[in-house]
Structure 1
Amino acid sequence: MNKKIGFIGCGNMGKAILGGILNSKKIAKEDILVSTRSEKSKNDIEKEFAVKTTLDNKEVARNSNILFLAIKPNIFKSVLSDIKEEISKETIIISIAAGISMNDMEEWLENNYKIIRTMPNTPALVGEAISAICPNKNIKEDELEEICNIFNMFGKCEILEEKYFHGFIALCGSSPAYVFMFIEAMADAAVKLGIPRNKAYKMAEQAVLGSAKLALETGKHPGELKDMVCSPAGTTIEAVTELENGGFRSTIIKALEKCAEKSQRM
């Protein structure tokens, strides 16, 4: 890809995307420029990723064909106002900020810029993100394909209407936290049953990874896969019954609803 990619801001999610892109080895480090707010964060990014960095957001805006805005929602408007005169009309602007709508960005930029709103998740760091992508009307079909190719460098992506983003944030943007809690709880139970802690974590992590891969690769309904494990009067159905008694599914549903409601209020 013969494009210059810029990052304004590089927090946890920005680092996940940057790391995922670099790990794909499809884009040269020399074609990436990152701006940060402090000298310390600038030095940290240089040390961790060996890419060019700056404290000047305008420099990144001027020199990027594809511009990631990986900044907090509360400073989004002021940063856009500061850099908008530096951005070419051919530059593709990609936002990963929760709570910042396409309408917000178009209003703050004032003119017809190419904008894509996205929501990735942190498994980008290991090439297994799932990202939602929503383009505005100025994005051409080949440009959208190009952006999808970038996101596929560190996982999978889905084109999604913006009205579904709150649900996507609850389902995918925040879900790594739920899964990590599940892994931790499984490992705690294993330790209680006598399995050493370091082994318990590895085994729980592989069990979750393998189960997800089985669902993805077979295409079978999760309920069908669950039933395959649950032998009549067996051990697994005992565990499943206890989970149901504890409100396992309803708690997950309520948690995702709360997450989506918070996203709507932001």
Structure 2
Amino acid sequence: MKNPLLKTMKIGFIGAGNMTQALVKGMVESKEIRPDHIMVSNRTQGKLLKLAEQFQVQTRAHNQEIIAECDVVIIAVKPQDFSTALEGLTGQFSDHQIVISLAAGIPFDSLEKQIPTGRLVRLMPNTPSIIGRGVIGFMSPDEDEGFVSSLMDDLFGGLGYVMKVDNEDQFEALMISCSSGTGFVFEMMMYWQDWIAERGFADDVSRKMTIETFLGAALLAAQSEGIEIEELQSRVTSKKGVTAAGLTSMRELEIERGLRISFEKAAMRSKEISRTQK
């Protein structure tokens, strides 16, 4: 059941980038939040005008106005811009406000130093949220965990799968596997498309073949409840067959090891960003 307070809450965004646009789209299309209850500020006017025209949300010239007017404040800026966006404003949050940070690499101890009041939440959507197929992870130390969890589901459920994580390590793993991981999947898709195109297929056909292969495999897994992915793979792999030959080569080339190293490199970079924010 949706929180009845949702209809009266005012939701504010500091920053109007791609993720803000995706979140606003999901909120407006859910019809649970009135567009005129959504407010957005940004350093430049272009993106604000686009949001106002497309979704009929309100815009504000200053970040301070977002903090003063909204029950939920979503800070949707890059980590390196976080402190600048809140410069001179950190004491203006109130205890009742939900303050959501989308900034990757800024852990809770750093957030609490910059925002000493308010009910803090870290949130990490990934780009498929734009089409309602995202993974949206969040964590919060708030004692009223049930309220926060319910609110996150209500606010972001229209964008995909909303899940709570228990600690910073899990949050980092979710960010790398689902947010950065989307980029890793696109990298593999580019290799796929290039190989097909090299065999004489037109670029648009190669792209379509690649997308449908990845999409079909993902949907098959999603609709095969109770069946492990390994079992689904075995169903398309006959002994000494074509698929088996390719899989053997992938394993000999240690594709898994390469992917794991990529994940760990991303994790190392995340920790580097965290250290610069403390």
TM-score calculated relative to the size of structure 1: 0.91
Residues 227, 124 of structure 1: CA spacing in aligned structure 2 closer, same or farther, 3 A cutoff? Answer: same
State how far apart, in whole Å, the 1-side matches of 2:37 and 2:205 are.
41
Match of 2:184 among 178, 182, 187: 178
Question: Which runs of 5 or more residues in structure 1 are unaligned?
Answer: none
1:223 aligns with 2:230: yes
Question: Which runs of 5 or more residues in structure 2 are unaligned?
Answer: 1-5, 274-278
TM-aligned CA deviation for residue 139 of structure 1: 4.1
Q: Number of aligned residue pairs: give it.
A: 265
Query: What residue in structure 2 maps to residue 99 of structure 1?
Result: 105
1:253 aligns with 2:260: yes
Match of 1:211 among 217, 223, 239: 217
State how far apart, in whole Å, the 1-side matches of 2:57 and 2:120 are.
25
TM-aligned CA deviation for residue 61 of structure 1: 1.1
Identity, % of aligned positions: 28
Query: What residue in structure 2 maps to residue 239 of structure 1?
Result: 246
Q: How does 1:153-164 map to 2 (within 5 A)?
A: 153-160=158-165, 161-164=167-170
- Comparing 238-247 with 115-124, greater Cα deviation is found at 238-247
State how far apart, in whole Å, the 2-side matches of 1:58 and 1:134 are.
25
State how far apart, in whole Å, the 2-side matches of 1:208 and 1:245 are.
23
Amino acid at match of 1:71: V
Query: What residue in structure 2 maps to residue 65 of structure 1?
Result: 71
1:142 aligns with 2:143: no
Query: What residue in structure 1 maps to residue 175 of structure 2?
Result: 169
- The answer (yes or no) to whether the contact 2:75–2:101 under 8 Å persists in 1 is yes
1:265 aligns with 2:272: yes
Amino acid at match of 2:183: A
Deviations 1:227-264 (A, max 9, x none): 11112222211222232233321111110011011101
State how far apart, in whole Å, the 1-side matches of 2:269 and 2:34 are.
38
1:115 aligns with 2:117: no
Residues 212, 38 of structure 1: CA spacing in aligned structure 2 closer, same or farther, 3 A cutoff? Answer: same
State how far apart, in whole Å, the 1-side matches of 2:135 and 2:254 are.
27
Match of 2:130 among 113, 125, 131: 125
- The answer (yes or no) to whether the contact 1:123–1:129 under 8 Å persists in 2 is yes
SS class of match (2:33): coil
TM-aligned CA deviation for residue 138 of structure 1: 4.5
Amino acid at match of 2:120: I
Amino acid at match of 2:238: S
State how far apart, in whole Å, the 1-side matches of 2:218 and 2:135 are.
13
State how far apart, in whole Å, the 2-side matches of 1:210 and 1:203 are.
10
TM-aligned CA deviation for residue 154 of structure 1: 0.2
Residues 114, 207 of structure 1: CA spacing in aligned structure 2 closer, same or farther, 3 A cutoff? Answer: same
- The answer (yes or no) to whether the contact 1:115–1:139 under 8 Å persists in 2 is no
